[in-house]
Amino acid sequence: MKLYYAPGACSLSPHISLREAGVDFEIVKVDTATHLTESGADFKAINPKGYVPALVLETGDVVTEGAAVVQYIADRFPKAGLAPANGTLERTRLQEQLNFIASELHKAFSPLFSKTASADAKEAAAAQVTKRLGNVELLLSDGRAHVLGETFSVADAYLFTVVNWTSVTGIPLSAFPHLTAYMQRVGQRPAVQAAMKAEGLIAA
């Protein structure tokens, strides 16, 4: 398998998931501004939508959209225990959280990374991100170690990735003690450390 990624982007989530699964894979860096890979190839030939992640399978099939990619990884390698079984309420809870992270939290950050968004748009985006972080804080306030409870899942890989963007957008986590502790806890996982080092996000 081959994962196309941009350092620190949402592709960090499947990168972490693959490392948690303990499988062999290759990573290929993409410049999201030029849509070229590090070798100069046209990334849009892999994913016409032009954004990461894209996971190319041994068959040549390509899986895109982060929430779909991480569920594919979890289902492909069930022994890693990264997702509850399909057809269970627990799996629905996973999908519920992945959808929330993708549609409410991930997308809320978008204006903060935009070169054309106005100051007002960025201020409104920061307020919306903070509101959604409050939802996560409430979820974690019952003392659970991870999004679904005590077991790490692909939802944690995605949540960690997105919340980590607060460090580059200047959104403080000081009002969210449970989320702060969660980020510290998940950030120390060997797979998370390995993925971040491989992407140059932390020192090797």
> What CATH number is attached to the domain comprising 141?
1.20.1050.10
Tally of CA atoms within 13 A in the half-sphere of 39 that contains its CB: 6
Question: Contact, 121 vs 111, CB < 8 A?
Answer: yes
When divided into structural domains, the chain yields a total of 2
Q: What is the pLDDT of residues 80-97, one digit of tens each?
A: 999 999 999 999 999 999
**Domain at 58, CATH number:** 3.40.30.10
C-alpha 117 chain-centroid distance: 23
Considering the domain architecture, whether residues 115 and 76 belong to the same structural domain is answered as no
41 C-beta neighbours (distance < 10 Å), count: 14
In three-state secondary structure terms, 36 is strand
Q: Are residues 7 and 33 in the same domain?
A: yes
**110 & 184 share domain:** yes
Please check whether residues 94 and 172 belong to one and the same domain: yes
Q: How far is CA 34 from CA 24, 31, 41, 81, in A?
A: 28, 6, 10, 37
pLDDT per residue over 133-187, tens digit each?
Answer: 999 999 999 999 999 999 999 999 999 999 999 999 999 999 999 999 999 999 9
Residues 24 and 107 in one domain: no
Give the range of the structural domain holding residue 43, as residue numbers without chain letter: 2-80+192-198
- Residues forming a β-bridge with 108: none
Hey, what amino acid is at 156?
A: D
pLDDT at residue 128 in the model: 98
Residue 29 maps to a domain: yes
Same structural domain for residues 8 and 34?
Answer: yes
Q: Residue 33 pLDDT more than 90?
A: yes
Mean pLDDT, all residues of the chain: 97
For the entire predicted model, the pTM comes to 0.97
Same domain membership, residue 95 and residue 153: yes
Residue 203 lies in a domain: no
CA–CA separation, 52 and 60 (whole Å): 17
Which residues make beta-bridge pairs with 30? Answer: 37
The Cα–Cα gap between 161 and 164 comes to 5
pLDDT, position 204 = 83
Q: Burial-class residue 190 by CB neighbours within 10 Å (0-12, 13-18, 19+).
A: exposed
Is residue 130 in a domain? yes
Q: Which helix (H) or strand (E) holds 55?
A: strand 54-56
User: Does residue 118 share a domain with residue 100?
Assistant: yes
